[in-house]
């Protein structure tokens, strides 16, 4: 905490007015970074000129940028292994809002309330949500992960195009 207080330019007692311990500092910092990444991803989704570029932008900002930041950190293993319940709750809430926004975008893109349309949107959301986690399993380089994300975006956008 002394090092954190010094780096922040505050006294250690002042730091304790805001944070209980270094895990609390980590949880707050990581949650803020994660929230910024999700906002950038949603911005990229709406900025895309095609479905493919929108999905690629979403995945690159959400998964690629975060992976690049974590992979370049000397604390990579600590960040990946973090099991803080405070972080988990905060991240869960951000993820729920994020994926709900993506689901809404897919519903605008492929409207309709029939069971076939709803099932198809659910499949796309499922692929976008969970595929990237598997893509990181072998701890790829940032470039390799980004290529995989682009391939996923192309695949999902091609399927969307066939059902429009």
| pTM listed for this prediction | 0.83
Residue 152: how many CB atoms within 10 A of its CB?
19
pLDDT digits (tens, 9 = 90+) for 141-161: 999 999 999 999 999 999 999
Per-residue pLDDT, 69: 85
Is residue 63 within 8 Å of residue 132, measured between CB atoms? Answer: yes
Superfamily (CATH H level) for 22-163: Tetracycline Repressor, domain 2 (1.10.357.10)
How many helical (H) and strand (E) elements, i.e. helices and strands, does the chain have? 9, 0
CB 27 within 8 A of CB 84: yes
Domain ranges of the chain: 22-163
For the record, the structure tokens of 116 come out as 């076939």
């Amino acid at each position: 905490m002394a090092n954190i207080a010094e780096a922040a330019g505050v006294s250690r007692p002042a730091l304790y007015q805001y944070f209980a311990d270094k895990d609390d500092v980590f949880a707050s910092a990581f949650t803020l970074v994660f929230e910024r990444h999700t906002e950038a991803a949603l911005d990229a989704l709406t900025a895309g000129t095609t479905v493919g570029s929108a999905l690629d932008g979403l995945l690159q900002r959400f998964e690629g940028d975060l992976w690049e930041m974590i992979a370049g950190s000397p604390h990579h293993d600590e960040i990946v292994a973090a099991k803080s319940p405070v972080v988990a709750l905060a991240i869960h809430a951000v993820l729920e809002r994020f994926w709900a926004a993506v689901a809404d975008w897919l519903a605008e893109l492929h409207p309709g309330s029939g069971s076939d349309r709803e099932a198809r949107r659910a499949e796309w959301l499922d692929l976008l949500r969970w595929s990237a986690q598997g893509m990181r399993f072998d701890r790829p380089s940032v470039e390799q992960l980004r290529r995989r994300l682009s391939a996923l975006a192309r695949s999902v956008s091609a399927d969307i195009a066939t059902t429009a």
